[in-house]
Amino acid sequence: MAQRNYSSRGPLAGVLGIVIVLGLIYLAFKMVAGVFNILAFVAPVLFIASLFLNRGVVIDYGKMLLNTLKKDTPRGLLYGALSFFGFPVLSAYFFIRAFMSSRLKKVVDSKRKEAQESKKYDDYEEVEEDDDFLELPDLAEGTPQKEPLKEDSGYEDLFD
């Protein structure tokens, strides 16, 4: 077997790989920062729109934040600080959640309305009761006799 000598790549081969990885990390950071800046610009509009769509989303989050603050004060303070500094992301979350819940509510309401509109009674025929409408035998005459139980069937040993 022939062994390859990898030292012929040059001394800058490892450095070049590190520079490329650092460049990709820098580009990813800039992209995330750009999205955050756009969200920071649009955040008040998204927050107000989420209040119009479904104010329960924002109210539920506020209740959760207050309950966490009462039960576990350090965690509640941390959540409050993250909510303050991450307001653009939080407002986008509120908007998406409110939009999806309002769409779901519309779909459920339309399905419920369709179900109520399609509820029709089937045609029926009234049956008049006569004396000979249903002939049943007397219970005293036709009482079925039960078979006596077998004394030893061999299954009792399975459950001991």
- Tell me if 138 is assigned to some domain: no
pLDDT band at residue 15 under the 50/70/90 scheme: confident
Record the tokens describing residue 62, joined without a space.
């506020």
Query: Looking at the predicted structure, is the pLDDT value of residue 133 above 80?
Result: no
- Tell me if 47 is assigned to some domain: yes
Residue 80: CB atoms within 10 Å: 14
Q: Give the number of C-alpha atoms closer than 13 A to the C-alpha of residue 47, restricted to the C-beta side.
A: 15
Q: How far is CA 158 from the centre of its chain?
A: 47
Residue 76 burial class via C-beta count within 10 angstroms: exposed 0-12, middle 13-18, buried 19 and up:
middle
- Tell me if 133 is assigned to some domain: no
The better pLDDT of the pair 6, 42 is held by 42
- Tell me if 4 is assigned to some domain: no
- Tell me if 155 is assigned to some domain: no
- Tell me if 107 is assigned to some domain: yes
Backbone angles phi, psi at 57, to 5 degrees: -65, -45
Give the number of domains in the chain: 1
- Tell me if 32 is assigned to some domain: no
- Tell me if 123 is assigned to some domain: no
Q: Which domain holds residue 113?
A: 42-117
pLDDT, tens digit (0-9, with 9 covering 90-100), for 69-128: 999 999 999 999 999 999 999 999 999 999 999 888 888 888 888 877 776 666 777 777
Q: How many helices (H) and strands (E) does the chain have?
A: 4, 0
